[in-house]
Structure 1
Amino acid sequence: MKKFISSVIIFLVVLLAAVAISKNDSIKYNNTMNRLGMSDNATVLKTNSKRNLTNTIVDLNKMKLSKYQIIFFDKDNSSFGYIYGNHSLKKLPTVSGRYFSKTDFKSQIPFAVQGQNSSIKSYKPQSQAYIKTDKRYISVIGNIGFNNAQLLNEQTLISLSPTQRKSNKQLKDLIPVIDGNVVSSKTDLAKIKKLMHVSSTHKYSPQTDDFTAVQTNNSGNLYILSLLLTLIVTIVVEIYILLPLRFDIKKTKLTGDLKNNYRNSLLLRYLMFTIIPYVLAFLWTTWKIVIISHAIFNSYLVVSIIAAIAVGIYQIYLVKKEPQKEA
């Protein structure tokens, strides 16, 4: 009965580890969504240039640059921006319609994508929705949204293209944020900074409208600590399962092949009460718990199972027999 309860504890502890991984995935994914799919390397380009926005895109398009996407956030409203990329963008979750494609950045017609909680009013005279900006109506091709991703849900983005008509926006009215391979290329990034008359740069942090605040949290450390604690708990439970088996080995008077066979049978019994809970926990997690970081969970299981086997072998095969007391 005690072994069965111990197996249940292992099962529940592994599920707890799976929930921790799932929760961490959710936090990371929400952060990515609030960054509009941009990586941690995304960089703000501070500029007071009077260059026209459309002319800037025309000149960027002429350059042979590494892959990039750039969002020009409105200084007065960071929930509104213009987006351009020279490759297919990482897609954001859509509630309806679609997200931008590579062809949208070559089109003469601008398109818009709105967050599901966008404050910018859209008009829908028939089946197609529009928003009004720069004294013209722009088609809304999709609505984006994700639970708890407030910045994503409130965002409105408009596609840019070198073939579009000239915009009345200047760079000094916008906050450009660039992401992609170009950020790690000093040569390409230098070209862009020169073109846009960039005075300074810093990493993109979307917590405030001016993009200068940086939030730090210890969720990553707590996440790692929680996984280590669950691993330690499973090892302690496995040692507890082995205590009566270890006692039997110390007291046995068997020798040679009989003793080895006895040890083998004890190891099989031990593995039955330890490995099966891991397998069941893996199946339950696959069925019921949403995990993005499968590699982390699988590695956790592999390490846990190896630790369980190592504990079993050490306790069963390397235990020293108690010396017989002389009468």
Structure 2
Amino acid sequence: MNFKKIFLLLIPLLTFLCIGTMLSNIESGYADELLEAHGLTNNTRYFRTDSDESVSSFLRYLDKNYKHHQIQLHLDSNYEKDQVLVWANHSVKSLPTESGRYFSPDDFKGTISFAVLGPATKTNLLDVQNNKYVILGQHYYSVIGEFKDYPQVEMNKYYLSTGIDQPTAKDQLKNYRIVVDGAPNVISRIAKHYNAKLHIPSFVQEHHRDRLSILPDLLLMLAALVVGIVGNLLLATIIKRQAKLTHLHGDLLRNWVINRSVRLFMIEGVFAIAVYFFLRWHAFYSTYSSLRISLLASWIIYIVAFCIMLRYLVRKDRKVARITK
């Protein structure tokens, strides 16, 4: 195997790495955005109120009037700066955790509050028989999950579930910044009910400005794919040229080409699998299925490009042979 062929064989490996890395950059950007937003969407708005109403009464109001609307709340404490109360009436936007899990809808229905921690949380913690608890006064909150550590995002907060019958809902509403995610008309009606003015969170404003920030990564992924295709086109040319040098004919020649081609596909497949496991340990993905699909799709595209080129060269040779006769 000559140096040129070895070099061309390494191209798919490098392009698989590039595609997987760019995909990780894109997903990490989204994950950072989600973490900064505490799992909320671009519809999110916040307001403050001077109401002495309890959080529990506020949740009853939402449950009564907006039962069929999807709402998610984060109540940022004015006094416990790192504390956030979380509530949702239908589904919760999940966040990536290093261990355990994020909240589920069932966590807001009972009488017990749970906690999810950021990696830099400095709140009072207690470890008992491999179980962690957040201690606030006389209350103990079981820790069900801990976020992944991302240096670009401030992760010193801790999150507590809240619900109508939970101890975290006893405080007054005026002690929180009320962050609401839901349909815009629903959010407006809620704010109007409390005579409050809506504001746009900073993460929403930043996202509106930076929504094209993934374009360079997408272009690099496309460029890597093109390079991989070109590499396989050249490999098809080399294999066809080597086939001529064997002086084989008929079924022997066909089997020789098939054997070399299948061997090439297997090598590139092994490269894709190796890159998959390497990036699983060295890069972030919200779901590993996105990495699997990207690498598999790239591998198939490379194979198709190789086969098309090989078929073109074979037909070209046959045409030349007919002309010379």
Instruction: Give the aligned residue type for 1:280.
Output: V
CA deviation map 1:111-156 (0-9, x unaligned): 443323124x315497774443xxx443231152212156463112
SS at match of 1:141: strand
SS at match of 1:17: helix
SS at match of 1:200: coil
Report the count of equivalent residues.
Answer: 306
Question: Comparing 40-49 with 301-310, which one deviates more in the overlay?
Answer: 40-49
Q: Quick one: distance in 2 between partners of 1:212 and 1:77?
A: 25
Question: What's the offset of the Cα at 1:78?
Answer: 5.9
Question: What's the offset of the Cα at 1:84?
Answer: 0.9
CA deviation map 1:267-294 (0-9, x unaligned): 5256236422321123223433315213
SS at match of 1:66: coil
CA deviation map 1:245-284 (0-9, x unaligned): 5668999999xxx6x7587457525623642232112322
What residue is the counterpart of 1:268 in the other structure?
A: 258
1:1-327 paired onto structure 2 within 5 Å: 1-2=1-2, 3-38=5-40, 40-48=41-49, 50=51, 52=53, 53-63=55-65, 64-74=67-77, 79-87=82-90, 89-92=92-95, 99-119=102-122, 121-122=123-124, 124=126, 129-132=133-136, 136-142=137-143, 144-148=146-150, 151=153, 153-164=155-166, 167-171=170-174, 173-178=176-181, 182-183=182-183, 188-189=186-187, 191-197=189-195, 199-200=197-198, 202=200, 204-206=201-203, 212-214=205-207, 216=210, 220-244=214-238, 264-265=254-255, 267-268=257-258, 271-272=261-262, 274-290=264-280, 292=288, 293=290, 294-318=292-316, 320-321=319-320
Instruction: Give the aligned residue type for 1:312.
Output: L
User: Does the C-alpha gap of structure 1 residues 152 and 145 become closer, same or farther in structure 2, counting only changes over 3 Å?
Assistant: farther
Q: Is the 8 A contact 2:240 2:310 kept in 1?
A: no
SS at match of 1:199: coil
Q: Is the 8 A contact 1:278 1:305 kept in 2?
A: no
Of Structure 1 and Structure 2, the greater helix share is in 2
SS at match of 2:140: strand
Q: Quick one: distance in 2 between partners of 1:47 and 1:98?
A: 30
Instruction: Give the aligned residue type for 2:141.
Output: V
Structure 2 gap segments, 5+ residues each: none
SS at match of 1:153: coil
Instruction: Give the aligned residue type for 1:67.
Output: Q
Structure 1 gap segments, 5+ residues each: none
User: Does the C-alpha gap of structure 1 residues 163 and 13 become closer, same or farther in structure 2, counting only changes over 3 Å?
Assistant: closer
State the superposition RMSD in angstroms: 4.0
Aligned sequence identity (%): 20
SS at match of 1:107: coil
Q: Is the 8 A contact 1:245 1:266 kept in 2?
A: no
Question: What's the offset of the Cα at 1:224?
Answer: 1.6
User: Does the C-alpha gap of structure 1 residues 110 and 245 become closer, same or farther in structure 2, counting only changes over 3 Å?
Assistant: closer
Q: Quick one: distance in 2 between partners of 1:324 and 1:96?
A: 70
Instruction: Give the aligned residue type for 2:72.
Output: Q
User: Does the C-alpha gap of structure 1 residues 289 and 248 become closer, same or farther in structure 2, counting only changes over 3 Å?
Assistant: closer
Q: TM-score, normalised by structure 2?
A: 0.73
Q: Quick one: distance in 2 between partners of 1:196 and 1:303?
A: 57
Question: What's the offset of the Cα at 1:43?
Answer: 0.8
User: Does the C-alpha gap of structure 1 residues 299 and 103 become closer, same or farther in structure 2, counting only changes over 3 Å?
Assistant: same
CA deviation map 1:50-99 (0-9, x unaligned): 36333211201213233332112235776322211123535545566764
User: Does the C-alpha gap of structure 1 residues 97 and 29 become closer, same or farther in structure 2, counting only changes over 3 Å?
Assistant: closer
